[in-house]
A and B are shown apart, each in its own frame.
Chain A
Amino acid sequence: MARHKQIQTEEQEDPEMNISSMIDCCFLLLIYFLVATSLVSEKKLDISIPASTAGASSKKPPLEPARIILRADGSVMWGGDLPVAEAYNEAAEPGTSEYRSQRELEQLVEQLKNFKSTADSMDAEPIVMLTGAPTAPHQRIVDIMAALATADIHSVGISTADPEG
């Protein structure tokens, strides 16, 4: 029986596997993933809001939280009265210097860096309270968040009261 089988295989010509269907399949998958993968992936800005203080110790933090106020027109105030950013211009085109300066908020970053170094010297955590006007655009909040991230500050309290009324 075994001998008979061996003879039969020897008689066959050199067998070749037909791989064309596999290549077809492979190409199909390749094209699918090529199309499905988006090249511009969304980024993120991580923040955490303070949890409820009920039951926690009533000891005050050694450093007062800094206050940032965002007005309805998109202008930003530091500490309540120092303007650090002009009103927001929605029409600014990406790539222009106006658009860049609106995104970067240099004066705010400078203030935040000073605040951060003060906090570091006191060995305290820098906490920022952000108050935004209800009608202020979301983009402006993201700009402020980006400024906080640039200054390496990650604790933000968000107040929902209207700073103008």
Chain B
Amino acid sequence: MGKKNARANDEVKGDVNMSPMIDCCFLLLIFFVVNATAITVAKDPSVKMPSAVSCSELKDANGCIVVNVYADTDKMGSKALEKFSKSYPAGTLWGVTDANGNSQGYNSSQTQDLTDFIKKQKELMESRGVKPEMVRLYLRGDMAAPWERSSSAIRCAAAAGVTNIVFGTLPSK
């Protein structure tokens, strides 16, 4: 044991070559930077996403107007319910997030407000140079939400002039 220690002391102070590690680190960094920019659709954890057997990757989130459709509060998990009640008043059926990151909830009597919001977002996107056909409604419906809520959101989008609908799903297990 002592001998080993002595031998270590005899050695010349060595430097670790850091360059391969830095190379590797940069490579990983660039990978994650590129990956992270692709996911720009705001996600609300209060929505339990449905799963689909045949679905494809969302290549470009630019032009997506995200509308969350919530299930009844008794069907939500405790964590989801906590987040939901913090963000929205009771009775909220649809939730949206505007360009400044502010969340806004709409109840069943506010379909006109939802239509106005979608119309405003559409105009905003088009003024930023998004092609009209690329403006889409990204419907993040909870798997347990009744269909009438999703169809009302689609109706609002159609009234606002958005006819392309994207159903948010998770790949089926």
| Residues of A contacting B145 in the complex (Cβ-Cβ under 8 angstroms) | 137-138
The residue on B at minimum CB distance from A133 is B147
User: Closest CB of chain B to A35's CB: distance in Å?
Assistant: 9
**Given that A23-B18, A103-B52, A138-B142 are known contacts, is A44 also in contact with B147, CB under 8 Å in the complex?**
no
Return the CB mask of A103-140 against B: 1 if under 8 Å, else 0: 11000000000000000000000000000111111111
Across the interface, which residues of A come within 8 angstroms of B152, CB to CB? Answer: 160
Which of A26, A46, A158 is close to B29, meaning CB atoms less than 8 Å apart? A26
Known contacts A137-B145, A138-B50, A138-B147; is-contact A36 B36 (Cβ 8 Å): yes
Query: What's the least CB distance linking B153 to chain A, in Å?
Result: 11
Closest-CB distance, A47 to chain B (whole angstroms): 5
The CA-CA distance from A48 to B137 in the complex, in Å, is 10
The residues in A between 70 and 94 inclusive whose CB is less than 8 angstroms from any CB of B are 70, 90, 94
- Asked if A145 and B52 make an inter-chain contact with CB atoms under 8 angstroms apart, the answer reads yes
Distance in angstroms from A87 CB to nearest chain B CB is: 15
> Is the CB–CB distance between B144 and A43 below 8 Å?
no
**Chain A residues with Cβ under 8 A from B143's Cβ?**
137-139, 142
In angstroms, Cα B36 to Cα A142, docked, is 27
Pick from B54-62, B76-84, B119-127 the stretch touching chain A. Answer: B54-62
Task: Mark A19-37 against chain B: 1 for CB-CB distance below 8 A, else 0.
Answer: 1000100110110011011
Residues on A with C-beta less than 8 A from B18 are 19, 23
Q: Is the CB of B142 within 8 A of A37?
A: no
- Interface presence of A164 (CB below 8 A): no
Known: A104-B53, A137-B144. A33 touches B165 (CB 8 A): no
Distance in Å: Cβ of B24 to nearest Cβ of chain A: 10
Assess whether B165 is in contact with A43, with CB atoms less than 8 Å apart: no
Which residues 58-107 of B have a CB within 8 angstroms of A?
Answer: 58, 69
CB nearest to B43 among chain A residues: A42
Interface residues on B, range: 35 or more
Q: Which of A37, A44, A51, A95 contacts B58 (CB 8 A)?
A: A44
State whether A137 and B163 are in contact (beta carbons under 8 Å apart), knowing that A43-B56, A44-B56, A44-B169 are contacts in the complex: no
Shortest distance in angstroms between B106's beta carbon and chain A's nearest beta carbon?
17
The distance in angstroms between the C-alpha atoms of A143 and B21, with both chains bound, is 47
Smallest CB–CB gap between A28 and chain B, Å?
Answer: 10
A41 contacts B165, CB within 8 Å? no
Contacts A103-B53, A146-B53 given; does A137 touch B147 at CB 8 Å: yes
By beta carbon, the residue of chain B nearest A27 is B25
Which of chain A's residues has its CB closest to B158's CB?
A49
Q: Which residue of A lies closest to B138 (CB)?
A: A44
Determine whether the beta carbon of B55 is less than 8 Å from that of A45: yes
- Which residues of chain A have C-beta atoms less than 8 A from B171's C-beta? 40, 43
A and B contact pairs by CB, cutoff 8 A, 9 listed: A19-B18, A40-B170, A42-B58, A45-B54, A45-B167, A103-B52, A103-B53, A138-B145, A139-B144
Given contacts A137-B144, A137-B146, A138-B149, 9 further A-B contacts (CB under 8 A): A29-B33, A36-B36, A37-B36, A42-B168, A43-B56, A45-B52, A48-B164, A100-B172, A135-B148
**Which 7 residue pairs spanning A and B have beta carbons closest together?**
A33-B32, A134-B148, A43-B55, A139-B143, A146-B52, A138-B141, A45-B167
